[in-house]
Structure 1
Amino acid sequence: MSDAVVPQKAESAAPAAASAVGWLERLLQSDLLYSFRRSRLTMLAAAVTLLFFLAAIFAPLIAVQNPFDPAQLQLMNSRIAPLWTADGQSPFLLGTDEQGRDMLSAILYGLRISLIVGLLGVAFSGALGILLGLVAGYVGGAVDSLIMRIADVQLTFPAILIALLVNGIAKSVFSNRLDAVSMLGVLVLAIGLSFWVQYARTVRGSVLVEKNKDYVAAAQLIGLPAPVIMLRHVLPNTMGPIMVIATINLALAIITEATLSFLGSGMPDTMPSLGTLIRIGNNYLFAGEWWIVAFPGIALAALILSINLLGDWLRDALNPKLR
C-alpha cells in the first residue's frame, strides 16, 4: 500500500512544481519586469520602499529601546541632540524627544504603525470598492444607479474630510474609551471609507466592458452563479487598474493617517505614528529642538515619494498604449 501512495504523491507534486517553474519563467520574461529593470529611478524607489518595510518589520531588533514601553523611558534623557552634535549622547543617534524616547526607535515603531494603518486601510477600501463595483457593473439597473450616486456624492467631499467625519463619529460614540489599538481600527475604517470610490468606479467600468464578452455568456450558459462569474472570470481582467490604484492609495492612506494624527485625531502619544511624532516635534521646533520634527518628517516624505514613484511606474507599465 505504501508503494502505491508514494508515486501518487510524486505525481501530484510534479504538476505543481512545473506550474511554479512556468510561472517564474513567465515573470522573468514579462514586459513588466523588463520595464522595471530599464528604470533606475523605479529600482531605487523599490529599494527605498523595501528598506522602509524591512525597518518596520525588524524594528524590535534595530531599535535601542521600545518607545511604546514607559518603563524604558527616562525623562532625564529628554531633548538630547543628535549624536554628531556637540550635545549628543550615545546611544541616541538621532537624539530624543520630550519624553526621553530615542528618535530613531520612535521613527521605526512609528513607521510600523503608519504602514499597518495604510495597508489595512487600502485592503478595506479595495475590498469594499471592488465588491460594490462588481455588483454595480454586473447587476446594473437601480442597484447600479444607487451605488454610483452615493459615489458621486462622496466625490464632492475631500477624503480627509470624510476621514475626519468618521473619526469624529467614532469618538463621540465611544467617548474616551478608545485605547490605542481601538484608535488604530477607527483610522483603518475612516481611511477605508474615504477611498473606496476609485475602486468602485474603475471596476464598474471594466465590468461593463467584460460582461458583454463571449466567455461571460458561456459561463452563464453552463449555469454558473453570478458571484462565481464575477469573482472567477470578470475580476481577474480588472486587476491591472486595481493594482495601480492600490499602490497610489497606499501613499494617500499614509498621508491621511499622518494628517489625522497631526491634527490630534489619530494615534495617541503613547503609541505614536509618524504623523503623531511630527505633531509632537512641531511644538518644540522654535525652541531649538529641530530634530524632533525633522527626522520623522524626512522619513514620511521619503516613504511617500518612493511609493508614489512605484505607482507612477506601474501605471505606465500596465498601460498598453505605452508598450
Structure 2
Amino acid sequence: MSDAALPSKPETSTSRAGSSSNGRLKRLVEGDLFYSFRRSRLTMLAAAITALFFLAAIFAPLLSVQNPFDPAQLQLMNSRIAPLWTADGQSPFLLGTDEQGRDVLSAILYGLRISLVVGVLGVLVSGALGIALGLVAGYFGGAIDGLIMRVADVQLTFPAILIALLVDGIAKSVFGDRLDAASMLIVLVIAIGLSFWVQYARTVRGSVLVEKNKDYVAAARLIGLPAPVIMMRHVLPNTMGPVLVIATINLALAIITEATLSFLGSGMPDTMPSLGTLIRIGNNYLFSGEWWIVAFPGIALAALILSINLLGDWLRDALNPKLR
C-alpha cells in the first residue's frame, strides 16, 4: 500500500492547543509591541529592574539573614550597626541595622513584599471597580451614566491620598484596636482601590461609547446575546489597551500612596513594616548619624517607582497607533 493511501493521524485537542499557543507566542515575539521593547535599552533595563524587585520580594526568606517580622530573631545589642563596608560595620549586616536590631537589607526585602502586595492588589481592586462602572456607564448611558460620572467628578476634586486617609480613618474608628497587621493590609488595599477607580471608569466609558455603535455589537444584539455577555466578551477586549497603560502607571502610584500612608503613621505597623514604614522609622535617626536606616529603603522605593514609571511610559507610547 502506498504512503498516500495511509490514513492521516488525527489531530488531538492537545496538539491543537499546543499549536495555538505556539502561534500566539510567535505573533507576540514578532509583533510591534515586542519589537518596540527590544529596540529600547532603557525600557529593557527598567523591565529587568522591576523583575529583580519582584523576584527579590518572592524569594525574600532565602535572601535574608533574618526574618525582621519575627521578634525572636532580633537582638537589641545589634541595633544601629553601620553598613558592612564602613569602619564600624559587622557581618552579616551588609546595609547595617536599625534601632530594633533588624538587618536593613532583610527589612527592605520583606518590606518590599508588603509594598508590592498592597500595590498589586490595590490596582486589581481599583481596576475591577473602575472597569465595571465604566462598562455599565458607557453601554447603558442615561441616568446610570450621569450618576456614575457625577460621582467620579466629585472624587476627582479630592487628591487620592485624602480619599485613602478617609477610608483608613473610617476603618480605624470602626474597628479600633482590633485591626492587626493583616487587617491593616486589607484596609490599605481597599483604600487605594477606592482612590484610583475613576481613571479606569472614565477611560473605559469613553472607549465603550465608541465601540457600542459598531457593527459587531449590533450583530451580537441581533442574535440575542445578553448585555453582560456583549460587554465582557466583545466590548471589553477592545478597550484593554488604555487600561493596561493606566494599570502600569497606577501600580507606581499605589505603591507611593501606601508608602505615604505608612510614613504618616496610617499604614503598616512597625512590627510588619513596608518601605514607607521603614522610611518613617529611619527618618527619626537621620540627624543622629544613622543615615543608612532611611537611605537604603528610600533608594529602593525610588528605584522601584522609577522603573515602573518607565515601563508605563513605554507601554503608553507602544500602544499609541499615532506613534507607530
Which residue identity is paired with 1:96? T
Q: Please say if 1:198 is aligned against 2:195.
A: no
Letter in 2 for 1:113: I
Partner of 2:157: 156
RMSD after superposition: 1.1
Q: Do the aligned partners of residues 8 and 124 (structure 1) sit closer, same or farther apart at CA in structure 2, a change above 3 Å counting?
A: farther
Tell me the TM-score normalised to structure 2 length.
0.97
Q: 3-state DSSP class of the match of 1:224?
A: coil
Amino acid at match of 1:42: T
Aligned to 2:323: 322
Structure 2 Cα separation of the partners of residues 80 and 13 of structure 1: 58
**Displacement after TM superposition at 1:29 (Å):** 0.8
Q: Against the structure 1 CA distance between its residues 9 and 263, is the aligned structure 2 distance closer, same or farther, given a 3 Å change threshold?
A: farther
Q: Distance in 2 between matches of 1:107 and 1:126?
A: 27
- The equivalences for 1:3-22 within 5 A come to 11-22=12-23
**1:108 — aligned with what?**
109
Residues 9, 301 of structure 1: alpha-carbon distance in 2 compared, 3 angstrom cutoff: farther
Structure 1: give runs of 5+ residues left out of the alignment.
1-6
Q: CA 1:8–1:99 in structure 2 vs 1: closer, same or farther (change >3 Å)?
A: farther
Matched, 1:79 2:80: yes
CA deviation profile, 1:185-208 (whole Å, cap 9, x unmatched)? 000000000000000000000000
1:187-230 CA-partner distances (Å, limit 9, x unpaired): 00000000000000000000000000000000000000000000
Are 1:279 and 2:280 an aligned pair? Answer: yes
**CA shift for structure 1 position 10:** 6.0
Q: CA deviation at 1:11?
A: 1.1
1:138 is the counterpart of 2:139: yes
Which stretches of structure 1, 4 residues or longer, exceed 3 Å deviation after superposition?
A: 7-10
Match in the other structure for 1:307: 308
User: When the two structures are aligned, how many residues end up with a matched partner?
Assistant: 317
Distance 2:270 2:228 in 1: 44
1:1-323 matches, cutoff 5 A:
11-323=12-324
Letter matched to residue 202 of structure 2: R
Q: Report the Cα offset of residue 176 of structure 1.
A: 1.2
Distance 1:97 1:124 in 2: 34
Letter in 1 for 2:293: I
Q: 1-side partners of 2:190 and 2:10: how far apart?
A: 45
**Distance of 1:14 and 1:301 partners within structure 2:** 46
Change (3 A) 1:8 1:205: farther
State the SS of the aligned residue for 2:198: helix
Extract unaligned runs of 5+ from structure 2: 1-7
Q: CA deviation at 1:15?
A: 1.1
Residue 292 of structure 2 aligns with an amino acid whose one-letter code is W
How far apart are the structure 1 equivalents of 2:27 and 2:11? 24
| Percentage of pairs with the same residue | 86
Per-residue CA distance 1:23-57 (angstroms, 9 max, x = gap): 01101110000000110000000000000000000
Instruction: Give the Cα–Cα distance (whole angstroms) in 1 for the partners of residues 168 and 79 of structure 2.
Output: 32
Q: Which deviates the most, 9-18 or 70-79? A: 9-18
C-alpha distance in structure 1 between counterparts of 2:9 and 2:208, whole Å: 41
What is the CA distance between 1:93 and its match in structure 2? 0.2
